[in-house]
Amino acid sequence: MRPQSTLHMVGALVAVTLGTFSLVGCHRSRDPDRARAPATEYREPSTQPETPAELRRLRASLQALPEHVEFDQRKMELGRQLFHDTALSIDNTLSCASCHDINRGGTDRRVSSLGVHGQVGPINSPTVFNSRYNFVQFWDGRAADLRAQAAGPVANPGEMGNTWPNVVATLARSPEYVAAFRDLYPGGGLTDVNIRDAIAVYEEALVTPAPVDRFLRGDDLALNDEQREGARLFESVGCTACHSGINIGGGSFQKMGAVRDYFALRGTPLTTADAGRFNVTHRDADQHFFKVPTLRHVAETGPWFHDGHATTLEDAVRTMGAVQLGRDLEAPQVQRIAAFLRALTGPIPAYATLPPST
């Protein structure tokens, strides 16, 4: 990505909220706290025929995204500039958007991301969209929120390879950045804490309501027949045991391979990243546990799983049915569930991308 040397502070449309998506199934929950969702605006449901029991249960287990979220627009614009600025990396080659491309489902669509000097990362990049609703950040949950998450990649030698003092010194050479931080953060100005806060404000604005949200509010016609049948199967086979709530996931840690040994079926040597939550807690009971990913935008964010092993959405659905639920799903079932998952993709907010240079 070409370096961004100046700060573009262009007005944005105010509306809507921020792990390559993957599917992780369910076994048992840990750290069940959920992020509090903004209140949604009430909307009269469409008058439609009575839905099947499975779809009524689906509506009970999932929660619609708000149609609008509130945020500080000027901080969002500052955070947007920082998110796309390669000055955060040691060699001025990578930005946050390098791994979380707004136009590629909030990911880089790689098995694992590339760091500075062409280093290959150990794990698949999760989407940035709707990540504000994850109860923790990163696959292993090592960051409590988006502000803590923003600290990690910049200072990771295998990612951006920088230090926060150097980032602050670099940005301080830009009069535009200095003035923006002075105005928006009068108590501290341009500091590493305030840089991370601005990035998090931008990420929190990346909320993408989708057709499924209209369906959850009562509009039966928001999904076509195949998607509705996929939604019914999604509930009846047990996917909602883990992929529930406002983010259709992102609310618990679960074991990868709860019913069948995923790693044995994968057939490749274990990696350090495969240990999951164990790498944070060092408790044997946490081996192979991962944060359940949100399924929002999942159709756009392959390859799937923490290891990028599934190459199609249908492969991911089939594998999750087998190793998480002990179900050998038939091809038509897989096809319909995948159709439903494609209804979880919403439009990107107009303000999410940088405005053209002037």
Looking up tokens 């492969």 gives 315
pLDDT of residue 16: 33
Average pLDDT, 10 consecutive residues per value, the chain (358 residues): 38 35 40 39 46 93 97 98 98 98 97 96 97 98 98 96 98 98 96 98 98 97 97 97 98 98 98 98 98 98 98 98 98 98 97 84
- Distance, in Å, from the CA atom of 335 to the CA atom of 118, rounded to the nearest integer, reads 37
Find the distance separating the first CA and the last CA of the chain, reported in whole Å. Answer: 18
Beta partners for residue 310, in sequence order = 304
Q: DSSP strand E in the chain: where?
A: 253-255, 289-291
Please answer whether residues 130 and 314 qualify as being in contact, where contact means their C-beta atoms are separated by less than 8 angstroms.
Answer: no
Domains along the chain?
Answer: 53-68+211-342 (1.10.760.10), 73-207 (1.10.760.10)
| 9, two tokens | 């502070």
**What does the chain come to in residues?**
358
The token pair at 251 is 């609310």
Query: Which residue among the candidates 54, 77, 159, 203 is catalytic per the annotation?
Result: 159
What six digits make up the tokens of 278? 């164990």
Question: What is the secondary structure of 100-113 as a DSSP string?
Answer: SBGGGTTB--SSS-
Distance in angstroms (rounded) separating the CA atoms of residues 331 and 328: 9
Q: Given this model, what pLDDT does residue 55 score? A: 95
Cα–Cα nearest to 277, from 243, 304, 254: 254
Amino acid at 341: L
Q: Crossing angle, helix 164-171 and helix 146-155, to 10 degrees?
A: 90
Can you give 56-118 as a three-state secondary structure string? HHHHHHECCCCCCCCCCHHHHHHHHHHHCCHHHCCCCCCCHHHHCEHHHCCECCCCCCECHHH
pTM attached to this predicted model: 0.86
Please state at what angle helix 331-342 crosses helix 225-236, rounded to 10 degrees. Answer: 110
The reported pLDDT for the residue numbered 356 is 86
Q: Tokens 């993957």 appear where?
A: 22
Give pLDDT, residue 196.
98
Residue with tokens 């709530």: 245
- The answer to whether residue 159 is catalytic is yes
Residue linked to tokens 């391979």: 257
For residue 107, list its beta bridge partners.
Answer: 101
Q: What span, in angstroms and rounded, lies between the C-alpha atoms of 206 and 214? A: 18
